[in-house]
Amino acid sequence: MFLKHPLRALAIGLACAAAIAGPASLAAAAAAKVLATVNGKQITEEDVKIAGDDLGASLPPQLDGKARESYILDFLIDGVLVAQKAQAEKLDQNPDFSKKLAYYREKLLMETLLSQIAKTAVTDAALKATYDEAAKAQKPETEIHARHILVPTDDDAKAALKRVKAGEDFAKVAKEVSKDPGSEGGDLGWFTKDRMVPEFADAAFKLEPGQISEPVKSPFGWHIIKVEDKRQKTFPSFDEVKDQVSRYVAQKAQGELVAELRKSAKIERAEPPVDPAAPATPAPASDKK
């Protein structure tokens, strides 16, 4: 069973810590419902919940209810067995183990505090205020619904345009000759001007609904463009973006906490921080010929 489970480093570290827990930890475990005992070590409902939260999306998606709980319990049993074996071989006395345990302890402390900050920050009032501020800042913007026919040459574009002007259905011609595999019948849906390359956007946004362009050249080839409709872009409803707003509010609060902690801390780095946006320093030229 053990080899079938993708044991994560953090989970192994927690299992190791649990396997060598002191009397206080064992007393706390005794208060929860015991689901299994491995060589005298109890695994409780609380342990399963913690492991489930940790594993999250890495669990097989088809697992639910009792099957999910059973899977996690087997995961913990395997973890305790391996941890007990590791302790018997005194791996917990290895300096590297102590360093990793300290790292995961600090990581868990950090995640616990940041989670609390997020829960405190994400209130209905904060979400609504953030949404209203973003909606107010949204500038009026036109978007169009258009179709296009993409072909390699000017002659191909003129031939397609001739067919359309003669009365053939634009979508039908696009389906037959267009080289754009990403649009069914040439349909590009709704878009704003900044989403298209300048040559295409400039031509498309000059058209009114129902109008068809002359051949337009862009880096992708030659286009014939038909504008189906035009409107003012609407800001999405609160319900549509609530999850995004929640993440933004939580991350903003967490970022502000970290920034405040950095301000009041004494931090000494052995080397100056590297700016990720700065270009890499070129390697010196070799004297070898």
pLDDT per position as a tens digit, 60-110: 888 888 999 999 999 999 999 999 999 999 999 999 999 999 999 999 999
Q: Distance between CA atoms of 190 and 169, rounded to whole angstroms?
A: 20
Are both 105 and 132 inside the same structural domain?
no
Are both 39 and 81 inside the same structural domain?
yes
Backbone angles phi, psi at 195, to 5 degrees: -85, -10
Q: Indicate the pLDDT class of residue 8, thresholds 50, 70 and 90.
A: very low
CB-based contact 258:250 (threshold 8 Å): no
What is the predicted pLDDT for the residue at 129?
97
Are both 8 and 85 inside the same structural domain?
yes
pLDDT at 14 over 50: no
Are both 182 and 205 inside the same structural domain?
yes
pLDDT per position as a tens digit, 168-196: 999 999 999 999 988 899 999 999 999 99
Are both 204 and 74 inside the same structural domain?
no
pLDDT per position as a tens digit, 22-48: 444 445 545 789 999 999 999 999 999
Are both 24 and 152 inside the same structural domain?
no
**Is 212 part of any domain?**
yes
Are both 134 and 148 inside the same structural domain?
no
- Three-state SS for the chain is CHHHCCCCHHHHHHHHHHHCCCHHHHHHHHCCCEEEEECCEEEEHHHHHHHHHHHHHHCCCCCCHHHHHHHHHHHHHHHHHHHHHHHHCCHHHCHHHHHHHHHHHHHHHHHHHHHHHHHHHCCHHHHHHHHHHHHHHCCCCEEEEEEEEEECCHHHHHHHHHHHHCCCCHHHHHHHHCCCCCCHHHEEEEEEHHHCCHHHHHHHCCCCCCCECCCEEECCEEEEEEEEEEEECCCCCHHHHHHHHHHHHHHHHHHHHHHHHHHHCCCCCCCCCCCCCCCCCCCCCCCCC
Are both 208 and 253 inside the same structural domain?
no
Find residue 232's DSSP bridge partners: 142
CB-based contact 30:42 (threshold 8 Å): yes
- Total structural domains within the chain: 3
Residues 228-241 have a mean pLDDT of: 94
**Is 22 part of any domain?**
yes
Are both 39 and 129 inside the same structural domain?
no
Tell me what percent of the residues of the chain surpass a pLDDT of 70. 86
* 29: Cα separation from own chain's centroid: 35
Q: Specify the higher pLDDT residue, 1 or 161.
A: 161
The CATH code of the domain that includes 224 is 3.10.50.40
What does pLDDT average to over the chain?
Answer: 87
Are both 87 and 25 inside the same structural domain?
yes
**Is 39 part of any domain?**
yes
**Residue 252: Cβ-neighbour burial (10 angstroms; 0-12, 13-18, 19+):** middle
Are both 99 and 161 inside the same structural domain?
no
**Is 285 part of any domain?**
no
Domain that holds residue 207: 142-232
CA Rg value for the chain? 30
What is the predicted pLDDT for the residue at 212?
97
pLDDT per position as a tens digit, 151-169: 999 999 999 999 999 999 9
Q: Specify the higher pLDDT residue, 10 or 43.
A: 43
Are both 163 and 152 inside the same structural domain?
yes
**Is 74 part of any domain?**
yes
